[in-house]
Structure 1
Amino acid sequence: MSIASSVHLVFAAPDITASTGALVAVNGTPVRQIESAAGRFLAGTPQRKRVIGSILLAWPYALAQLGFPSKGGATEYRLQDADGQIIDLKVDHENTALASTLYPRSEHGRADPAWEPGTFVKIITGTGIGLSIALPSFFDPGETALAKAISNAAEQVTAHAHSPLLIDVRGNTGGDFLKTMPLIDAIAGSARRQVVVLVDKFTFSAAIVFVAILKHRLGDRLRILGEDMGDGLAFFAEGGLLDLPASRAAVRYSSAFHDWKTGCIDETTPPEIAHHIVAVGSLDLDGPCIAEPTVAKADGDLYRHILTRLTS
């Protein structure tokens, strides 16, 4: 997984004994050299390339095609743990799985590629500092749960109209931003509220739009912390996935143009989205905030730390 500008081992199959740590080399080749060779095959922004490029380092066939083949039916990894110790790991190819089952169709930044959010909204109150709301996803196949959760969050935001607010959209790969508009309206309803939003390279699509509209509404009252998001403000969205029958490759296509930088639309922009598009200009970070995948308690500690600094 890509954390900041490095690739880390964060999870291994139960039958593989491995420590977590930063990946230094694969098959004796420095990771930076492999990433450089892979760059021409990866589309999008540098952050998007970091998100989707990590899988190539665990894909023996891809490594061979890039010119860094495994030997003896096993891929060799060199890691450096948090204490600076070097760890060598060899993974036998008998442990491989079909790449199509693991390819990051939804690049959420969790160790488990099959991760799904347990809830669309998680609210933390009662800290005496402010209100924290985690929004892990805007993709709701059932089309009702997200709207209900957003409505409840909007009520909480309105009830705490004078409290500082933290919104966490790290790892939110998008979905339907239109269903989040009641929450945006509630956040913007207080003229004095200070708001901070957490983003990362796994923030995509509708989650970027959510931040863009907040920035347009709040201006300097919104602070953006984290790292550059997965895409810029002009991108193609909607569309879907095609599973090619012969190769079994999954091809992602996008069919609708969004331009939240200049506010422009074209014939592919759905009318309901065009109605909301505004010229945001840029979404520059106000400060860094990069964390490894954490448990809920650690996130709560991070939220309190940021809110304390916001109010001091």
Structure 2
Amino acid sequence: MRGIAVLTLAGVLMLAGLAEAATPISREARLQDLAQVRAEYLPKEMAFTPTTRAAAEARLKTLEARAGRLTPSDLLVGLAEVAALADNAHSGVRYHTPEALPDKRLPLRLIWFPDALVVARAHGDAADLAGARVLAVEGLSPDALYGRVRVLLGGKELDRKKRVTELIESEGVLKSLGVAQDADALTLRLRLADGRKVTRRIAMIPQAFTPTAEFERLWAPQALAGETGWTPALKPDAVPLYLRDADRPFRLETTPVGLYLQFRSNSDEDGFPIADFLKAAEARIAADKPANLIVDLRFDIGGNLLTTLDFMRKLPSAMAGRTYLLVGPYTFSAGIVSAAALEKSGGDRVVIVGDEVGDRMRFWSEGDNVRLANSKLALRYTNGQWDLGAGCAGEPACLDHFINVNPVSLEPDVRAPLTAKAWLAGRDPGMEAVMRLIGTRP
């Protein structure tokens, strides 16, 4: 979907389970895929340390010993564990072909907020669960569940929680982890929007009519293309500014406290050339001379950092007043670099509001996918290193010199996380914090 000229995207790191195949794949086919991982993925993944590489090789050897007994979800879980040992958010298992998609998935879409695991969308007979808080899955609290599934992903905890919901929803994954008894149904304990607590045994449904989207798009209640039969937790006509026009990657709005710029991408999207938007934003700033600028990167999951790098560097100097930079766990990849460029250029004139960004300041990206011949799964390896905090000059594959935004910290000056409580109430803690800083009543 989004261009990957320099940094890869969080959004294309879509992790999912494979369906329990009607026709089992032979032991020889499994061994062929695992041999591909050993020959083509492990040597190229530079995010491994010597210790974690040895652990990944040992885990792969265990899978090879079980090759004839591996279900599709066993293979997915095993390979996810191998890649997760690199502890790098840009690395891991992916699927790029319908043949690798799960046949079934829960009729729910989940979002993991700082304060709760919430049903963001529910399908058909499960419609009454939209907006419910998940209290337990297969008898495990959300915290205990995360303790079991975190081994499938690398990176910061905030980002793992963002992405792991897709695995939890997928057929067979929790069974392969030893969390669930069955592959095709899960028992959930929930607190409904009206306060009632219920326990439901929820069967997986065919994947064919499941809405697909980047993780951040599920926050907005507006229907996705081709989406039918799904009930969102929020009402589409009662959402705060940051969730409006959900399918527009770039937005420019005049607000009572300043000019609001929102980036959900750093690349051209279908029908939305990013260069045209940047020109329009520059012209508006020059014409309106706004007293304050709000740059919302909370759902900027990345793309081509070069498209916005100079724009972000110039923004603070174009303003007479302050620039308020909104960031959070979905700020990722090129979105993090954009935030770093703006912060370094503006210094004390930039006020960071929100939550921690979705990746560490030191990470690996770039690379390519190794596509497995039989399962059709792919493993993304990374071979370009970044350190936005301290720099990595002189270290292997360091790319810092391309952008020169370090040293920088993106720790918020004002904490204003997007919580489940605020989201369900249609509030925006980040904009409310900005309004308080400017001296306007939220």
TM-score tier by shorter-chain length is 0.7 to 0.9
Show CA shifts across 1:74-122 (max 9, x none): 31111123443213232223x1438xx9898x54352589789633321
- Equivalent position to 2:304, from 176, 183, 189: 176
Measured after TM superposition, the shift of residue 4 of structure 1 is 1.7
- Equivalent position to 2:262, from 134, 141, 149: 134
Show CA shifts across 1:266-310 (max 9, x none): 56356xx72322323421112223155969xx68x7676444323
Tell me what 1:43 maps to. 154
Tell me what 1:284 maps to. 411
* TM-aligned CA distance change 1:199 to 1:39, over 3 Å: same
Measured after TM superposition, the shift of residue 172 of structure 1 is 1.4
1:24-103 paired onto structure 2 within 5 Å: 24-71=135-182, 74-93=185-204, 95-97=205-207
Tell me what 1:121 maps to. 250
Tell me what 1:199 maps to. 327
Q: Which letter does structure 1 place at the counterpart of 2:127?
A: T
Tell me what 1:310 maps to. 437
Secondary structure of 2:118's counterpart equals strand
Q: Which letter does structure 1 place at the counterpart of 2:199?
A: D
* TM-aligned CA distance change 1:244 to 1:103, over 3 Å: farther
The TM-score normalised by the length of structure 1 is 0.83
* TM-aligned CA distance change 1:79 to 1:92, over 3 Å: same
* TM-aligned CA distance change 1:144 to 1:37, over 3 Å: closer
Tell me what 1:7 maps to. 117
Measured after TM superposition, the shift of residue 71 of structure 1 is 4.7
In 2, are the aligned partners of 1:235 and 1:259 still within 8 Å (CA)? yes
Q: Percent identity among equivalent residues?
A: 23
Tell me what 2:381 maps to. 253
Secondary structure of 1:224's counterpart equals strand
Report the count of equivalent residues. Answer: 302
* TM-aligned CA distance change 1:114 to 1:245, over 3 Å: farther
* TM-aligned CA distance change 1:281 to 1:154, over 3 Å: same
In 2, are the aligned partners of 1:234 and 1:259 still within 8 Å (CA)? yes
Which consecutive residues of structure 1, in runs of 5 or more, have no partner in the other structure? Answer: none
Show CA shifts across 1:172-196 (max 9, x none): 1101121113432441224642111
1:119-268 paired onto structure 2 within 5 Å: 119-125=248-254, 127-140=255-268, 145-190=273-318, 192-265=320-393, 268=397
The TM-score normalised by the length of structure 2 is 0.60
Secondary structure of 1:193's counterpart equals coil
Cα distance in 1 for residues equivalent to 2:155 and 2:247: 29
Tell me what 2:68 maps to. none
Q: Which has the larger radius of gyration?
A: 2
Tell me what 1:274 maps to. 401
Cα distance in 1 for residues equivalent to 2:202 and 2:403: 49
Secondary structure of 2:326's counterpart equals strand
Cα distance in 2 for residues equivalent to 1:243 and 1:204: 24
Secondary structure of 2:299's counterpart equals coil
* TM-aligned CA distance change 1:187 to 1:243, over 3 Å: same
Cα distance in 2 for residues equivalent to 1:268 and 1:40: 26
In 2, are the aligned partners of 1:11 and 1:111 still within 8 Å (CA)? no
Moved more, 200-209 or 190-199: 190-199
Q: Give the CA RMSD over aligned residues.
A: 3.2
Show CA shifts across 1:5-59 (max 9, x none): 4321111223433322221111222222221122233211111211122223212
| Higher RCO (C-alpha 8 Å, min separation 6) | 2
